[in-house]
Structure 1
Amino acid sequence: MANYKAKGEELADEVRDWAVLPTDILNLIISRLYFPAEISRFHGVCTAWKSVPAPLVRSQWLMSKPPIGTRLNFFHPLYCKPYSMEIPELEFAKVRFSKDGWLLMSDGDINFFYNPFTRAKVELPNLPQGYNGLFKNNRFKMMTFTAPPTSSDCAVFGVNSLFDEVICISTIVRGEGSWKICRFQNNVPMFPSPCSPVICNGLLYCLGRDGKLGVFDREEGKWTVLDKPEKAPFNSVYENFLMECEGDIMSVFVGTEGFKRCAKVSVCRLDRLKMEWQEIKELGDKMLFLSDSTCLSATSHIPGMENKIYFPVLPRLHGRYGVFYTLATGMHQTFGIDFWSTDLGDTRELLNCSWIEPRDGTYSETQLDWLKNP
């Protein structure tokens, strides 16, 4: 009996040791945790661990989801530690845009916000059936929003187009019960790119496949295809992307050389005086994250991640490492493995994906009700 008691006391001492780990060790452990759920479990170990502050550096993850399926997969360009979660209610949902930890999603004709890290959901009012008379269903081709759906500043934009002649832009603001639908005849032919539109200085910008820009002023209800810029920096554009960076409009044009995909990459800033795309050769401490649903810029807080463009692709043989384009070398590379290429031929592109920044939080029922003032 004495031996059993002694072993029990030794075990109790070992358990207590977890609560008295040095602070630098605890800080090291929590610095390796990236998702809110992991940090929450860390803080739940004991009171001492709960007092350790979470890391302040936030980073973008590439989230992908099959068109029909419940698993969300997350990949980080730097860390070779993928993360996944099962969310049954998103089985048929499609990702439309991401911002501040929230996904804007659609399930058939239904549009809603979803935070995968808190499982919080905000449903949007339905569009009227056959709302524009131009398309077979009520599904937008591109969407974006201005602020988290729990904010009174949140406005949602949905865009559809008919060839290069007609565009339909629908908007709804937090607290409103119905969409405002505007249909325009293009003053200049423009076929919108499938990339997400961008909101900058209160205006909505849409990028054309040929490099043109269309601008929508929600306050005035006015749409204009600008005379300039007239074209992309080169002719063989495979795809293009649009984003806002500290008040500037930026674009990335990706071209082909023969059968080589993404062999040309051009980063441009809109010169507002000349109204033309001005090619830039370096991003400084900035990073660009690209996908059809979400394009964004961010300041790097992790050495080595700056001056790069992160694509929604993974190497075919090493599916845990994200691919980026380095402006300094003109090469496509990855962290962690020896992957260097002048194009993206030996990679696979993730569909139904978006860049997202994990964020935790709690929300009241009022905040999660679109029609109520938060």
Structure 2
Amino acid sequence: MMQKQIYQWPPLSAKYFWLVGPNLEPQKDVTIHDQFLHDRRRIPELLGRRIRGWFHGWVILSSHPESDRWTLWNPVTSKTIRLPRLVLKSEDYEFIAQGCLSSSPDDPSSVLLLTRIDEPIIHFCQLERKQKRIKWMKMSLAKQLRGLTGDNDATLHCLVCCNGKLYALTHSYKTEYVMHVDIMVKDGKLVINLLRFVDIPSLTFNNGISSWEVFLKGGCRELFYILVGFDSEEKKRLGVVYLFRLDMTSMVWEEVEDLKDAILFVDLAYDCSVFYRPTIASEAGGYLHIIGKMGKVMYSYNAKDKTISVSSMPSFLPTSHLSLWECGLQGDNEIVVKSLMNDDLNINTMRNETHEDNIKSHLLNIPFDIMETIMEHCVGLEYLNFRATCKHCHLAAPMIQWSNETALKRLKTYSLVSPWLMVFDNRLGIITFTDPMFGDTYFIKTPQELIGDIRIRSSKYGWILMFELGGPTFFYNPFTNDIRKLPFVPYFEDFGFSAPPTSPDCMVVACETPNVFIHFVNRESSWRGFHMDFGNIVSHSFAFPTCYGRDIYTLDEGRLYAFRNMDEGTCFWENVVAQPPKGCGCRSSAQHYLVKCDQQLLIVCVDEFGESVEVSKLNHSTKKWETVEHLGRHMIYICDYTCICMEAKTPEMENKIYFPRLHTKNGKIVFYSLETCMFHTFDGRNIAESFSDLFGTKFHSNPHTWIEPSWF
């Protein structure tokens, strides 16, 4: 009997994935790093080679750095097939994108195919053993691709096997399709016909996504389409993941809501390889793992809750399951509280009960009229929690129309401890709110007007400034369900506003080179446009427009700019008011956030993975940033398009910076303390976890922002 064996190694340099033979399970008693060092010495076939694909139980290996020598290796039988040298110009080897094996080498029609990223050419090698000499050949697919896409520069990439057939993606500036790559070996010659198979999924891109990469992966009878989005053209930071599975019956792409026991790997560092296993150990399955461009970071996408975990080393352990209290809005005014137990995050299966009816409580000993009096002094979070306790409390706290005059008076005298993290989930049609201190999570139904390609651009004073791609810009208050549309304005990335839209002084600004638009919401019926002369500067990204007196300050890669006298109907641009602060603010990987704190302008600089967090204030006289070591009673909330600074209501919240991230173990919101210079999470009012960077945290792939709860 063949001895069971398992190998684990880094596909393409310093990365890892599980390769297991039939009926084998991953080892659980060794660390990934130790296993890698052990197997590296045991597997000489991997030394000096890069993994370029894994098909039909065979691993495709190429030499490194030049991909001139190719090998097929079966890790279960240890059998190796060495192929002749692929002779190319030295500069052409880097354009070899991927290898694909059409069938097992035991099949007389088996062919190894290599795609190129620079031109529509396939290099191939027929593995028929009866041939006197195996040799490399090449074939141009330019004519077929041009006829199918209408693009002279179209290429083919992401060759995959599924259900015994080959498929690939076209890369074209005009259109993209999934192609069926039909291979025939006739009279010893290879014939390839490209057939249009299915369109790619129709996607709406998330906030801040400016570049992306797409992948196709087949496994058994499943075909996956993966899109990985980044927040910059340099692909510095992963921001969103889309994962689709093709229904082979209806030929419709369906977004994957749960990978269950399956596991996917995408390697962005080399060749953008994709690996897939339909079943694996339960603690490892259910994730799409993405290895970053530099090969040092692993992003793990959970399709169930659409979160992305970040780790410096691969982690196959799922996040802990939480019991969350949720509240929802039905119709226009009915408040419903439901319990979301364990890992059941499907809104369709939420139980319609507030708590176990037989829970004993001292509250039942309070006379009903006294309980009603108590509830007259509760609003918002307190009211919802009380109403969810039991049937007795539910009766004492009847449904309230928070828009009526009596309720508004109560709400105006009520102040919450902190802004909430707000997440839009258009798949489930819900909006969730998470309290950063206590971890309570609430939800409301997403208004019908907000279901679609809605993008968040700013959040302050309990209002969110949003726009629909190709549609209107509008304010939205999720607590009153108030939507206020603004006059049409062209597409802009960066927005800011000076006051709530209910204020007579509310001014909205939209910035993008070379134009600036402003709109006084309650004074004018249209936008004012200014065409700015930026000299030789081609492009600016004006992030976090912040009103300061009569001026608006913005950031571009840490540099501070100003638009002067905006409220007087004129606009003057001041180039580089201040350079980025020293320290992490000067690093290309740093993220910068601008916010007004009382009468100060603050900039928060965060290294890519939180290794360094710094706060500085602007000295308007010297036009330089000065380090801030303590925020006093203030606290800062940062997000992609939102930066809020406010005075803390409790001592536990002050002198901290709150991130839109959750700890992967306890699920609590992460904050950075300027006192300890460490990251932490709360357990009630106490510190629960302490750590030095953002590895081991996760963030939402769905659109999200911070919002100050406001019911008026």
**Secondary structure at the residue paired with 2:368?**
helix
Choose which of 466, 470, 473 in structure 2 pairs with 1:111: 473
CA distance in 2, matches of 1:61, 1:344: 20
Q: Is 1:120 aligned with 2:460?
A: no
Query: What residue is the counterpart of 1:72 in the other structure?
Result: 431
Contact 1:285–1:299 (Cα < 8 Å) also in 2? yes
What's 2:415 paired with?
Answer: 57
Aligned-pair CA distance for 1:29: 6.6
- Indicate if the aligned counterparts of 1:239 and 1:253 stay in contact, CA closer than 8 A: yes
1:243 and 1:198 map into 2 onto residues whose CA distance is 7
Bigger strand share: 2
TM-score normalised over the length of structure 2: 0.42
Q: Offset at 1:353? A: 1.8
State which of 634, 638, 651 in structure 2 corresponds to 1:303.
Answer: 651
| Alignment pair present for 1:143 and 2:495 | yes
Percent identity, aligned pairs only, is: 27
2:517–2:527 CA contact under 8 A, matched in 1: yes
Determine the structure 2 residue equivalent to 1:204: 552
The superposition leaves residues 267-292 of structure 1 with CA deviations (integer Å, 9 ceiling, x where unpaired) of: 01001111101111111111011112
1:171 aligned residue: 518
Amino acid across the alignment from 2:570: G
Q: Offset at 1:192?
A: 4.7
CA shift for structure 1 position 31: 8.8
Q: 1:277 to 1:17 in 2, by over 3 A?
A: same
Say whether the 8 Å CA contact 2:512–2:542 is kept in structure 1.
Answer: no
Aligned counterparts of 2:414 and 2:482: Cα–Cα separation in 1: 22
Q: Which amino acid in structure 1 is aligned with residue 482 of structure 2? A: A
**Structure 1 segment 1-374 matched on structure 2, within 5 A:** 17-21=367-371, 33=382, 44=398, 56-58=414-416, 59-66=418-425, 70-87=429-446, 88-92=448-452, 93-109=454-470, 110-127=472-489, 138-161=490-513, 167-174=514-521, 175-187=523-535, 189=537, 192=540, 195-218=543-566, 219=568, 221-234=570-583, 235-236=586-587, 237-256=589-608, 261-319=609-667, 321-336=668-683, 338-350=688-700, 352-361=703-712
CA pair 273-122 structure 1, distance change in 2 beyond 3 A: same
Letter in 2 for 1:326: S
Instruction: Tell which has more relative contact order, 1 or 2 (C-alpha 8 A, sep 6+).
Output: 1
Higher Cα radius of gyration: 2
Alpha-carbon distance in structure 2 between the residues aligned to 1:176 and 1:37:
44
Match of 1:186, SS state, is coil
Work out the number of aligned pairs and report it.
324
Work out the CA distance in 1 between the residues paired with 2:450 and 2:386.
19
From the superposition, tell whether residues 98 and 231 of structure 1 become closer, same or farther in structure 2 (CA, over 3 Å): closer
Contact 2:512 2:541 in 1 (8 A): no
Q: Are the structure 2 counterparts of residues 192 and 262 from structure 1 closer, same or farther at C-alpha, using a change threshold of 3 Å?
A: farther
Residues 343 and 159 of structure 1: CA distance in aligned 2, closer, same or farther (over 3 Å): same
- Supply the AA of the counterpart residue of 1:105: M
> Cα distance, 1:20 vs. partner?
1.8
Where 1:118 maps in the other structure, the secondary structure is coil
Superposed displacement of residue 328, structure 1: 0.8
Partner SS, residue 185 of structure 1: coil
**Contact map agreement 2:511 2:542 (CA 8 A) in 1:** no
Per-residue Cα deviation, 1:320-360 (whole angstroms, up to 9, x for no partner): x1110001111111101732221112112235222111111
Stretch moving more, 339-348 or 210-219: 210-219
1-side partners of 2:370 and 2:383: how far apart? 23
Letter in 1 for 2:456: V
Letter of the structure 2 residue corresponding to residue 359 of structure 1: S
- Kindly state the Cα deviation for residue 124 of structure 1 after the two structures are TM-superposed: 0.8
Confirm or deny: 8 A CA contact 2:383 2:397 kept in the other structure: no
Cα distance change of structure 1 residues 69 and 272 upon mapping to structure 2, 3 Å threshold:
farther
Q: Which runs of 5+ in 2 are unaligned?
A: 1-363, 389-393, 401-405
Alignment check: 8 A CA contact 2:386 2:397 kept: no
Counterpart CA distance in 2 for 1:344 and 1:276 is 29
Residues 333 and 125 of structure 1: CA distance in aligned 2, closer, same or farther (over 3 Å) = same
